[in-house]
Amino acid sequence: MGAASPSRRHCLLLVGLAPLALAGCGRREPPAPVVDLMIETNGDLLEFKPTELTCHAGDHVRLTFRHTGKYVNVEHNWALILPHAFDAVTAAAVKAGEEHGWVPPGDPRILAATPMCGKGQAVMTEFIAPAAGDYPFICTFPGHAQSMWGVLHVLERS
Q: Tell me the average pLDDT across 91-118.
A: 97
Q: Is residue 14 part of a domain?
A: no
Q: Tell me the average pLDDT across 33-53.
A: 97
CA distance 116 to 100: 10
CA distance 41 to 69: 7
Domain with 78 in it: what CATH number? 2.60.40.420
- pLDDT for the residue numbered 11: 37
| HSE-up (13 A, CA, CB side) for residue 70 | 2
Q: Is residue 104 part of a domain?
A: yes
The parent domain of residue 136 ranges over 34-155
Q: What is the dihedral of CA 16, 20, 25, 30, to 10 degrees?
A: -150
CA distance 141 to 79: 10
Condensed to tens digits (0 to 9), the pLDDT of residues 50-63 reads 999 999 999 999 99
**Predicted confidence band of residue 31 (pLDDT cuts 50, 70, 90):** confident
Q: Is residue 105 part of a domain?
A: yes
pTM (two decimals): 0.81
Q: Is residue 10 part of a domain?
A: no
Alpha helix (H) residue ranges in 6-158: 6-23, 86-96
Q: Is residue 53 part of a domain?
A: yes
Q: How many domains does the chain have?
A: 1
5 against 142, higher pLDDT:
142
Q: Tell me the average pLDDT across 134-145.
A: 98
Q: Is residue 1 part of a domain?
A: no
Q: Is residue 3 part of a domain?
A: no
3-class secondary structure, 93: helix
Q: Is residue 11 part of a domain?
A: no
Average model confidence (pLDDT) for the chain? 87
